[in-house]
Amino acid sequence: MFSQINFFNPWLIGIELNTILLAIVFFAPKKLLTPAGIFHAWILGVLVWGTLGWQGYLIVGFYFIVGSGVTRIGIKEKETLGIAEKRSGARGPENVWGSALTGAICALSTLFVDITLQQLLLLGYVASFATKLSDTTASEVGKAYGKRTFLITTLKPVPRGTEGAVSLEGTLAGIFASIAISILGWQANLINAIGLIWCVIAAFIATNLESVIGATLQSKLNWMTNEVVNIINTSIGAIVAIILALVSKQLLSLG
């Protein structure tokens, strides 16, 4: 029975790899995830490796490492101002799925569709993480280094950390982050070169729409937590990228 186990099965590799990596995270002195967050990250990691292999895992791993890193930029000052992420940036289950639910759905859905739809879902997968990394980087860099922050709906100056606030420093950092992770997706053959462009554009659109949601709806609706906004944000990024790809394909066919 034991000899018949295929140790190269992607799901088994996902289980083994994530168990080892997240055990290291659990015992590491710097807590990047809560205990519950580690369990949910394990589920996410196994799902991604099982469906998309190392290429998909590379994207989610890059997001987690860079996203955790930028969260700690200027952490002491952010904590003093009361605008730092809770638990000093340690991610819980709500953060894991708020950031990755859209990507996880795209990854899982690739198992049930033809090659054409798979390509669109892979584009949505990369775009969702490009959007979230752009949003996280823009927010954290803006809170740490934003010299002037404006409410996106009125362009009136507001304090750093205000929901819906944007800054030049944060916006540029967010664009750079989306470019970096999109290039990674391209190099891993998840998307093509034009898909890279769609991901960056979609991330920029979705990140700014997220700021609009934060400025207009988030404080008025009790159920619209940061995690819900993150799911909406990443979904917009994935959908916009897919729409851009479909429209461009249609225009090329007409030409």
* pLDDT tens, residue by residue, 36-53: 999 999 999 999 999 999
What is the maximum alpha-carbon separation in the chain? 68
Whether 124 contacts 102, CB under 8 Å = yes
Q: What percent of the chain has pLDDT over 90?
A: 65
Q: How far is CA 136 from CA 15, 53, 188, 237, in A?
A: 28, 25, 23, 14
Domain residues for the domain of 122 are 2-254
Task: From 142, 130, 137, 147, select the one nearest 200 (Cα to Cα).
Answer: 130
Token pair for 192: 């093509």
What per-residue confidence (pLDDT) applies to 253?
79
Match 């799901």 to its residue by tokens.
Answer: 11
Rounded to 5°, the CA angle 61-43-127 comes to 45
Reported as a single tens digit per residue, the pLDDT across 54-113 is 999 999 999 999 998 898 888 777 777 676 666 666 788 999 999 999 999 999 999 999
Q: Measure Cα distances from 23 to 10, 33, 152 in Å.
A: 20, 11, 41
Q: Count how many domains the chain has.
A: 1
Asked whether the predicted pLDDT for residue 161 surpasses 90, the reply is no
pLDDT for 87 equals 61
**Contact yes or no for 14/49 (Cβ under 8 A):** yes
Q: State the pLDDT at residue 73.
A: 85
Q: 3-class SS at 166?
A: strand
- From residue 194, how far is each of 46, 122, 186 by CA, in Å? 29, 13, 9
Measured in whole angstroms, the distance separating CA 185 from the mean position of its chain's CA atoms is 13
The arithmetic mean of pLDDT across residues 150-174, rounded, is 90
Given a cut of 70, whether residue 1 has pLDDT beyond it is no
Q: Are 161 and 215 in contact (CB under 8 A)?
A: no
Q: pLDDT at position 89, please?
A: 62
